[in-house]
Structure 1
Amino acid sequence: MREAATMKPIWRVKRTAAAYHRALPKPTVSRLLVYAAALIVLFLIVCALAPQWIARYSPTDMQADQILLPPGAAHWMGTDYFGRDVFSVIVYGARESLFIGFASVIVGGLSGGAIGALSGYFGGRVDNALMRVIDVLMTIPSVMLALAVAAALGPGLWNIILAVALSTVPNYARIMRGQILSIKNRPFIMASRSIGAAEFPVFIRHVLPNSLSPLLVMAAIGVGTSILTGSGLSFLGLGELKEIPDWGSLLSQGRGYLTVAWWICTFPGLAITLFVLSVNVIGDALRDALDPKKRRS
């Protein structure tokens, strides 16, 4: 009986320890996917910021004796019709492609967020006037709107950024307006007003910070969409002609060699696909992290 009495607590301790280890969070497939996506995005950002650390050759180094070489040990992604290393051109072209994506999201997100915040918080005539403009923009598909604006402004880097940003403004405005409408009449906002707080401090300190989560998630996912749209505009010839082309221009230049040199188009397209997919995965993870219903206690 004494041995049994002394063994029982030890068994409980072992059982508790085993239950504790089973309860520890383990890396799931989705979490590993997020880590992989973050590494891909980080690598491409490094390529854009410091391409000389990654690329083996200069993107302007043309070698007449190495034209249209297939992928191999010397050139991992082959060479193009000028004898340039495709991998080096993709690495150096990441700077402009990523700049289009991030800059258009910043411009479109700030503009659309400001419109939605003003419309949702003040309501009345301000809401009606701003939302009617947004409704007109939403009747036009975003790609067609970006194409029309880019064609009207002409080729150029900043013209593409403005075109892509304008096509995303309606979505940001609608998201922000809905969040403001759902928060501005909640009890803690009404309590702030009841103690004499002014409207502008209430908006800045309470309403706006509690409305930014969906906008941040949409902006994270929108980076990939903006790069895809910007690459499409460059593919159609609306991008700026430079010595080092962006990913969309690479696709456009290599489509004529698709039957004889598939790697010229394949690898820039793969870079676009990987970045867009990785950003979408990170955006989904950010949405789950900011959703209070999915947070663990």
Structure 2
Amino acid sequence: MRDSATTATAKAVLRRGKWELPALRVPGRRLNFPKLFVGLAAIVIAFIALCAIAPQWVAPYSPTEMMTDILLQSPSAAHPFGTDYFGRDVFSVVVYGARDSLFIGLLSVLVGGLIGGTIGALSGYIGGWFDTTVMRGIDVLMTIPGILLALAIAAALGPSMTNIVLAVAAASIPGYARVMRSQTMSINGRPFITAARSIGVSNFGIFWRHVLPNSLSPLLVMTTIGIGTSILAGSGLSFLGLGLLREIPDWGTLLSQGRGYLTIAWWICTFPGLAITMLVLSVNIVGDWLRDNLDPKKKEA
């Protein structure tokens, strides 16, 4: 009986088209682990967004305040993340550094998704020699590792916010173009597109009203997940010295500055690293949740 019940449960899960972690039953309530993870991830993202928008509401000290009497103090109640080699409160510096890190991730995804999505959509819809020429260029770009391409562009353009965004966005364009091209070609071959052509709708009208709106779901999911990758890439460039040269450093610069003190003051680079990890992990969890809910094949299942 137990084996047959287990088999029936497994078949039911496969028919739904997705695997679910088992729910935890406790007295008086039922906890669903996936929803719990998504909720916690959303809280982390919201908190970091608050740090980026209004850091003065979260940080207990000014990020430029140097308390020379407590240099390299370990984490304590007054300074949860400790202090650095200038006597600055590390927690306050991390809070204020969230703005640049999050801004680089969001803007680079917006630029890369817009350019790459447009190129892929036009290539998939027009087809022919245009599609062949564009996709061969995309194939060439995809042979270059994304971080290496971003590193080359950032080194050539110099350290600035605009250049870092362009470098990270350029590295992500090939992926967005491939996904959007595939989705556009799939939509372009469906019966409602043929029906639209049969009643005389123009090519531009078909593309703008039917193909493009029905192709955006995968791009939306990919851009959501891509925010974490872009934040990692931007932090990596900052860590290598190609980031922003500001009085208040971003998270990648904090990691770079704290690596020399790792053996005597581990907290200087540990907490910025944990902030990057938590943000990227949370964004990926929310992105996976969006993928599961926006995938039309899973909805039909």
Instruction: Give the TM-score normalised by structure 1.
Output: 0.90
User: How does 1:169-248 map onto structure 2 within 5 Å?
Assistant: 169-248=173-252
Are residues 1:135 and 2:139 paired? yes
Match of 1:112 among 113, 116, 126: 116
Separation in 1, partners of 2:166, 2:201: 38
Match of 1:93 among 93, 97, 103: 97
Match of 2:164 among 143, 150, 160: 160
Structure 1 residues 236-257: Cα deviation after superposition (integer angstroms, max 9, x where no partner): 0001211000000000000000
Separation in 1, partners of 2:300, 2:47: 31
Q: Superposition RMSD on alpha carbons, in Å?
A: 1.4
Q: 2:154: which partner in 1?
A: 150
| 1:26 Cα offset (Å) | 5.7
130-139 or 113-122, which deviates more: 130-139
Deviant stretches of 4+, over 2 Å: 292-297
Match of 2:37 among 33, 41, 48: 33
Separation in 1, partners of 2:298, 2:136: 35
| 1:183 Cα offset (Å) | 0.7
Separation in 2, partners of 1:287, 1:155: 35
Separation in 2, partners of 1:115, 1:123: 12
Q: Which runs of 5+ in 2 are unaligned?
A: 1-28
User: How does 1:218-297 map onto structure 2 within 5 Å?
Assistant: 218-295=222-299
Separation in 1, partners of 2:30, 2:135: 46
User: How does 1:65-104 map onto structure 2 within 5 Å?
Assistant: 65-104=69-108
Separation in 1, partners of 2:68, 2:261: 17
Give 1:192's aligned amino acid.
A
Give 2:124's aligned amino acid.
G
- The size of the alignment, in residue pairs, is 274
- Find the residue that maps to 2:78 and give its secondary structure: coil
The structure number with the bigger radius of gyration is 1
Q: 1:6: which partner in 2?
A: none
Q: 1:125: which partner in 2?
A: 129
Give 1:159's aligned amino acid.
N
Q: CA contact under 8 A between 2:244 and 2:250: conserved in structure 1?
A: no
Q: Which runs of 5+ in 1 are unaligned?
A: 1-24
- The percent identity for this pair of structures is 68
Give 2:193's aligned amino acid.
I
Structure 1 residues 152-179: Cα deviation after superposition (integer angstroms, max 9, x where no partner): 1111111111000000000000000000
Separation in 1, partners of 2:296, 2:168: 31
Instruction: Give the TM-score normalised by structure 2.
Output: 0.89
Q: 1:13: which partner in 2?
A: none
Q: CA contact under 8 A between 2:105 and 2:234: conserved in structure 1?
A: yes
Q: 2:66: which partner in 1?
A: 62
Give 1:280's aligned amino acid.
N
Match of 2:57 among 39, 53, 56: 53
Give 1:116's aligned amino acid.
G
Give 1:94's aligned amino acid.
A
Give 1:107's aligned amino acid.
V
Give 1:174's aligned amino acid.
R
Separation in 2, partners of 1:159, 1:136: 22
Give 2:96's aligned amino acid.
Y
Compared CA separation, residues 248 and 295, structure 1 to 2 (3 A): same
Compared CA separation, residues 115 and 195, structure 1 to 2 (3 A): same
Separation in 1, partners of 2:175, 2:199: 35
Separation in 1, partners of 2:145, 2:37: 31
| 1:28 Cα offset (Å) | 1.1
Separation in 1, partners of 2:186, 2:208: 16
Separation in 1, partners of 2:133, 2:297: 34
Give 1:151's aligned amino acid.
A
| 1:220 Cα offset (Å) | 0.2
Give 2:172's aligned amino acid.
T
Compared CA separation, residues 199 and 27, structure 1 to 2 (3 A): farther
